[in-house]
Amino acid sequence: DQQVKQNSPSLSVQEGRISILNCDYTNSMFDYFLWYKKYPAEGPTFLISISSIKDKNEDGRFTVFLNKSAKHLSLHIVPSQPGDSAVYFCAASAVGSARQLTFGSGTQLTVLP
């Protein structure tokens, strides 16, 4: 049973527009959420995170929104750039097991020039 789900395997966006990547979770014990970006032949790179006590965290072009009641989070990238083309993984960490991450299956983002 997948506890973290990314239902869109791929997303294409025009350069300069907003990219919205979605993630749903089922485990109500998750209290910290992270987004990682992965280029081919590289390891995942930490992008941005959010604690369950917040509903928004912003870092430059990247903003993560958390809706706890819906068990849903999203990553907004604006403006999107061709260099943002990568696989984006959502990950979650549960209370009492902060050293374990549960990953979603990833979304391939393609930003078209």
Partner 1 sequence: DTEVTQTPKHLVMGMTNKKSLKCEQHMGHRAMYWYKQKAKKPPELMFVYSYEKLSINESVPSRFSPECPNSSLLNLHLHALQPEDSALYLCASSQELRGVDIQYFGAGTRLSVL
Assess 62 for contact with partner 1 (CB under 8 A): no
Residue from the set 44, 63, 64, 66 that interacts with partner 1 by CB under 8 A: 44
Cα-Cα end-to-end distance for the chain: 38
Assess 93 for contact with partner 1 (CB under 8 A): yes
Q: Which is nearer to partner 1, 18 or 98 (CB)?
A: 98
Assess 96 for contact with partner 1 (CB under 8 A): no
Assess 25 for contact with partner 1 (CB under 8 A): no
109 burial level (CB within 10 Å; 0-12, 13-18, 19+): buried
- C-alpha to C-alpha distances, 109 to 21, 53, 70, nearest whole angstrom: 8, 28, 24
